[in-house]
Amino acid sequence: MTSPHAERLHQVLASLPLFKDLPPPMRGRVEGMATLLEAAKGDELWHAGDTAEHLTVIVSGRVKVVRHADTGDVILEIFTAGETVGAVAVYNRVPYPATAITMEPSLLLRLPRRDWLDLIEHDPGFSRGMMLELTRLNTALTRKLAAMHGTRVDARVAGLFLSLAERMGRETPDGTEIPIVLSRQEIAELVGTTVESAIRVMSRWNREGLLITARDRFVIPDRDKLKAEANVADEG
Amino acid sequence: MTSPHAERLHQVLASLPLFKDLPPPMRGRVEGMATLLEAAKGDELWHAGDTAEHLTVIVSGRVKVVRHADTGDVILEIFTAGETVGAVAVYNRVPYPATAITMEPSLLLRLPRRDWLDLIEHDPGFSRGMMLELTRLNTALTRKLAAMHGTRVDARVAGLFLSLAERMGRETPDGTEIPIVLSRQEIAELVGTTVESAIRVMSRWNREGLLITARDRFVIPDRDKLKAEANVADEG
DNA sequence: GATCGCGCATGACGGCGGTCATACGGCCCG
DNA sequence: CGGGCCGTATGACCGCCGTCATGCGCGATC
């Protein structure tokens, strides 16, 4: 029973906020049901249309959820460590409405649908957690939808990085640092434009020192200047 | 106790799918908690940012949920009789993320938050209904988000009316009839464009007989032709 | 009936950004 | 080491559509 895998699972469950407050006996049962999955960068966790049989929790790494459109793909949301992915589809046993792809080497916890439902039914904290997840996703989607429409590409990209700075930024002497790798292609899909347009904006800001692209991170020297850039287009 | 209002409430609850399968004693309790509200066309049920204290169920009429953007408003969704509005916000006691406005004279049922939560907790059908509502909204939003982005205005408008035809269309000898009044302004907000662009598309289709605007309804003589119009732009 | 307001319609203009083409550096792999 | 692939970068073109302006028809209000 103390295989390397089981041992690791035990540690993981103890570290995840979602599980660590669970009463020990219940957590023991979860250990018997869940499985760990290592994924390389770019792996497809599932494809739009697949049936949802497992709840996925991100232990480490990042996962993007992409919706295919005829004119190109759109990244709906980026999820990071500690968050769950695809909860809506799993709960209703509905085909996934979008595709999930890892953006880095990631460690994932997968919990069979039925066991998760049990958990929800017996632990009020779990169902509350799911509702919270749902509302967050919902408001994020509505905000994105509203931002998408009239606003210019510059403004949308600026908004993207400002929200990233808020969610995972770290203050340094040089400015706000966003420790994340994001290809121009992904930036484009996040704000709903083409690669070329994304590149144009990013390289211009690189020249002007507004937003610097480093090897493994982005740096915003002056957040207010970037915010100004976003607002210029707003007042249309 | 049998005031006109109470009498009417009794009838309404018996007719609403959401309540009519409730065990009679429970339904009796609901009658004591809920209130009816008549709203004229254009009334604001609530504004984005308001705290959500009541669940709203549409008895008759239609309600649009609008998100304000600096460049103009976006209609996120249109709800019709039998559907609930704002469930997410009410459940989590979170400020409404968007504004709700009636599109016609409407009759609304309002249920205090706490009573609704009680209902959910004691009637499994209710919680299941809410989850369904949530997923529907979620998938609708993601679809809209994907459609919004590259596609041309023509295609988006065509998509709008095709989905309307599916949701509330009736077949007649003249084609598919959509019994709904929708101003050009509202069409524009639904597909995320300006009034002028919406007008241009609509009047062109009127001339060409693709989509006819009547006094109180729209008519699609040939659904396939409209679908073709939507696809022309797709293959970008 | 005169006036106002609102929704609908149409034209002119200009710019943002999508499309196409080309180029360059880094990395993997034979 | 040379070749192919991918991500990044930059320029040219042009078309969709957002913006502004103007006009018309209809219902409402006095």
User: φ, ψ for residue B74 (rounded to 5)?
Assistant: -125, 125
Coil vs helix vs strand at B16? coil
Best residue in A92, A187, A189 for a mutation probing chain B (most B CBs within 10 Å): A92
Residue B124 has pLDDT above 90, yes or no: no
Distance of alpha carbon A85 from alpha carbon A77, whole angstroms: 10
CA pair distance B148, A145, nearest whole angstrom = 8
Residue A185 approaches strand D within 7 Å at CB: yes
Which residue in the set B91, B139, B145 is minimally distant from A145, CB to CB?
B145
B233: left (phi over 0), alpha (psi -120 to 50) or beta: alpha
pLDDT band at B112, cuts 50/70/90? very high
pLDDT-derived band at B232, boundaries 50, 70, 90: low
Alpha-carbon span A165 to A180, nearest angstrom: 10
Which residue in this structure is represented by tokens 């509005």?
B85
What are the start-end ranges of the E strands in B4-150?
35-39, 44-46, 54-60, 62-69, 72-80, 84-85, 99-102, 106-112
Higher pLDDT, B183 or B17: B183
- The pLDDT of residue A69: 78
Nearest residue of chain B to residue A75 (CA atoms): B146
**Tokens standing for residue B148:** 């919004």
Residues in chain A within 8 Å Cβ distance of B90:
none
- Rounded to whole angstroms, the distance from the CA of residue B89 to the C1' of nucleotide D18 is 34
Write out residues in chain A with pLDDT < 50, as ranges. Answer: 233-236
Distance of CA B205 to the CA centre of its chain: 25
Q: pLDDT by residue (tens digit) across B36-80?
A: 999 988 899 999 999 999 999 999 999 999 988 777 789 999 999
CB contacts < 8 A (A, B) = 114
B196 touches strand C (CB under 7 A): yes
Q: What is the pLDDT of residues A22-63, one digit of tens each?
A: 888 888 888 889 999 999 888 999 999 999 999 999 999 999
Which residues in chain B have their CB less than 8 angstroms from residue A94's CB?
135, 139
Read off the tokens for B172.
């007649």
Tracing tokens 């009658």 back to the chain, one arrives at B31
Q: Which of residues 172-201 of B touch strand D (CB under 7 A)?
A: 193-194, 196-197
pTM given for the model: 0.85
Q: Which residue has the tokens 């850039």?
A: A229
Cβ within 8 Å, pair B146-A94: no
Which amino acid is present at B92? N
Residue in B closest to A132 by C-alpha: B92
pLDDT tens by residue, B146-195: 888 778 899 999 999 999 999 889 999 999 999 999 999 999 999 999 99
- Name the band, by pLDDT with cuts 50, 70 and 90, for residue B234: very low
- Reported confidence tier of residue B235, pLDDT bands at 50, 70, 90: very low
The predicted structure's pLDDT at residue A72: 78
* The predicted structure's pLDDT at residue B91: 86
Residue A102, pLDDT score = 93
Whether any strand D atom is under 7 angstroms from the Cβ of A200: the reply reads yes
